[in-house]
Every structure is written in structure tokens, then in C-alpha cells.
Chains A and B, each alone.
Chain A
Amino acid sequence: MLDQDFINTLLLTGKLAGWTTFILFIVGFPMAYVLAYKRFWFKPIVEALISMPLVLPPTVLGFYMLIAYSPQNAFGRFLEQHFNTRLAFSFEGVLIASVIFSLPFMIQPLQNGLTSIPKSYRETAYTLGKSEFTTFIRVLVPNMIPSIITAAAMTFAHCIGEFGVVIMVGGNMPGETRVASIAIYDEVQAMNYHTANQYSFVLFIISLLILTLIYSINGKKKIFL
């Protein structure tokens, strides 16, 4: 039988991935829209910063997040003085780091989806008197569903597999920051191979299912991409 710790760890992993995906969806769509359609001189810098997690070791971001969270520095001090909160080694701290670290996985598919929609669709909607917002909701979003699913699924799958950032920022606190990828490492260290195998198998199946979903949807709906 599965013990409560095992279930709690998986639930915490799902909670972190779910919240990260939700927050990034809300924050990422406007960012992807601006990057896809607006021109400004520092756009390459913004794009490079967003893509940094793809090439940067997670421990680098984790290290800087820890520094930022420290009450000895401005951001950490502000949080402690005004909200009586410390983010280091907390779920919220891991969540913020996870959101930043997963930015490219949400933004890049959304940006690609937006740029692949012919410009004439937007321009037609504008000449028909529709605002940018109405055009976005009624014309752009429905014609990039595969990109939206890809963005959400990739972000969720990437979060589930996150290790470096979580261990740097959150450590290994059961029920708070101990997600499945950390638990696998921990169980292997303790030579509990059976439990490590259970976690690994669940992560393997979830990741496989998510990627299969992405490929099957994109295969069917290629016409809209």
C-alpha cells in the first residue's frame, strides 16, 4: 500500500506544478503578446532574460533567489518588515522561483502560436471595428489552442521534474518543499530503492502522458498552427 508521505509528496508536487502553470498562464500570455506583436528596442534583452532558464544551471537561479529572499537584502527585508514572511525554505518561495524558472516553457509556445497566426486575421478584425482585446479573445486565442495546450503542458511537466531550484530555495522539508524529484534523491541516499522506484515510475508515467497529449493534439490540429 502507498503510505501517506508518498501521497502527500505527490500532491505537493502537483500543487507546485499546478500553481506555477496557472500563474504563468496569467502572467505569460500578456508577455507573449507583447513579444509577438510589439516592437521596442530592448526586446532582445527581454527575450534573452526569459530564455535564460533554458541554458542556466538551476542552481544559479536558486542561489540568486536565496540571496534575494535573505532578510539582509532589500527584497527579503521588505517582506519580513511588511508581511512578516520569509520566503526561503517555504512553499511560496519555491513557487516564485519555479514561476521564474519555467517562464520560457510557457512564453515561447504562446509567442510562437501568436506569430504563426496570419497578420491579416488581426488586421481584418481591426477593420471590422474590433478592439485589440476582442480580437485577442475571439480571433487569436481560439486559433492557437494547440499552442496553449503545449505551453500549459510543457510548463506543468517541466515543474514536476524540477530539482535544482527547489533544493536550493526550498531544501527538503516534508509537506512544504519536499517534491517528488527531491524525494527520489533523498530515498536513494537512504538506500530506499523501492520507494525511489515508486516516485520515479509515477513521474515517468505522468511525463510520458503529458508529452503524448502534446504530440497527439499538435498532430491533429496542425492546420491551425
Chain B
Amino acid sequence: MLKIDIQKAMLSAEGKTNLEVCSEIQDNELLCLFGHSGAGKTTLLRILAGLTKPDKGRIVFNDTVWFDSEKKINLPPQERNVGYMFQDYALFPNMTVEKNISFAQKEKNKNEVDKLLELFDLEILKNQHPEKLSGGQKQRVALARALAAKPNVLLLDEPLSALDFDMRLALQHEIRKAHDLLNTLTVMVSHDLQEVFHLASSVIMLKNGTVINRGAPAEIFSENTYCFQQRVCYQFNQ
């Protein structure tokens, strides 16, 4: 279980805001962070990964304290064992697909690399460098790489935002596969309602740094809610 109780001052397009999140995420949960740009979704994800330091609070994963401002504990990303997938996928250009995946392993195991290549349908591309891959292929490599490290927590920052609609649909399946493979706690940032309904077991809705709703997608986006209507209109216009 991941317990989060943090505060962090942020500078968004609308000026200074304060990110305040107090929540618990269960093991095996696939949680979606949902909200407008600048709401603090990516900042929260980075805080969980140890890439951004909160101003104060506490983060505890199972029995391990990741961050405690009072006790001055702040575990670096290397010691949190999280898999973080960036929007740009951040595949290393100097490594082939296979090397990108094996680099992530803590102990080298070629069989596991082969399994991941097979699982994400990457065998034929294993000797290619990232610059030769399409957006969808890059996303699959980035997922496979994140899983190769056998993370305790999988953090996905808008994993499908750079892809077209058809590709999004196809790759939602891959994310589900990644989550189910390790049965790991997954936190994902998304703007896309369809994506949230398809993937998330629960949703945290953020607005200007504050959690305004938390629950299952069906509860949060009930057809009567103003928020749901706004979202549908927005995405229809898109």
C-alpha cells in the first residue's frame, strides 16, 4: 500500500498554487490521476518517483518510508524501485530495443528479456535503435523496459498522449497487460475519459493542486455530474 500525504508549492499558468494530496493507494490498484493541465498530476507522479521533492509531508510504501519531511528522509529514485514512463518515452538512442530492456534489469537475465520482447511483440524489432521506431512501438519498448526492473510501483505519465486515436485503443491493452503481468500498483496520468474508463480501477481527480474527487471511474464520472458533461463536450470537440 502506498500512503501519500504531501504538500508542494507549484507554479502553474494560473499562478502559484499548492499541491496537497492525502490518499492511499492499494496494492494491485490501477489508479488514474485525472485533471486539467497544471492541476499537479505530473508533479505528483514525479514526487512519487523521487524526482521532485515535496515541501513537506510523508510518503510510505508498505513499511518503507520514501519521504518524511520531519525526519528528513528522502529516498532517491534509485532506492524506490519504481518504473517511470515519461511522455517522450526516454528510450536511450545509443541502445537497441533489446539493450534498452536489458539495461533496466538489476540482474542480467536474457530469458526474461526475451519474454518481455515476446509479450510486447517486439522480437522482430529487438536489434533496432529507437529512432527507427514508430510512436506505438516506442511506447511498448518503454513499458517493457519499465517492467524489466520489476518495479514495486509503475508510474505512467500520459503514456498514450503522443499517439493517434486508433493507436491509443490498441495500446491501452498493452498497459493493462503490463499492469497484470507484475500485478503491481500502477499510477497513470491521463486526460482521456475513454482511457480512464477502460483502464483505471480508481481515479483521483485533481483541480489546482487539490484532490476534488476520489473513487471508481463510474462513480466519479456519473452522467449527472457537471464535470462529466464538460469532459464529454471537450473531447467531442477535440
Task: Using CB atoms and an 8 Å cutoff, list the residues of chain A in contact with chain B.
Answer: 118, 120-121, 123-131, 138-139, 142-143, 223-224
Evaluate whether A139 and B92 lie within 8 angstroms (CB atoms) in the complex, with A123-B51, A129-B106 already known: yes
A to B CB contacts below 8 Å, 29 in the list? A118-B88, A118-B90, A120-B86, A120-B88, A121-B90, A123-B51, A123-B84, A123-B90, A124-B84, A127-B49, A127-B51, A127-B77, A127-B78, A127-B149, A128-B104, A128-B149, A129-B78, A129-B79, A129-B81, A129-B149, A130-B78, A138-B103, A139-B92, A139-B94, A142-B94, A143-B93, A143-B94, A223-B131, A224-B93
Residues of B within 8 A of A131 (CB): 78
| CB <8 Å contact, B149 and A124 | no
Q: How far apart are A138's CB and chain B's nearest CB, in angstroms?
A: 7
Does residue B82 face the partner (Cβ distance < 8 Å to A)?
Answer: yes
Residues of B within 8 A of A125 (CB): 92
A86–B80 alpha-carbon span in the complex (Å): 54
Does residue B76 face the partner (Cβ distance < 8 Å to A)?
Answer: yes
Q: How far apart are A117's CB and chain B's nearest CB, in angstroms?
A: 9
Q: How far apart are B233's CB and chain A's nearest CB, in angstroms?
A: 33
Find residues 130-158 in chain B having any chain A CB closer than 8 Å to their own CB: 131, 145, 149, 155
User: Which 9 pairs between the two chains have the least Cβ-Cβ distance?
Assistant: A142-B94, A120-B90, A126-B77, A127-B84, A120-B86, A124-B90, A128-B104, A127-B77, A129-B78
Residues of A within 8 A of B103 (CB): 128, 130, 138
Residues of A within 8 A of B149 (CB): 127-129
Does residue B209 face the partner (Cβ distance < 8 Å to A)?
Answer: no
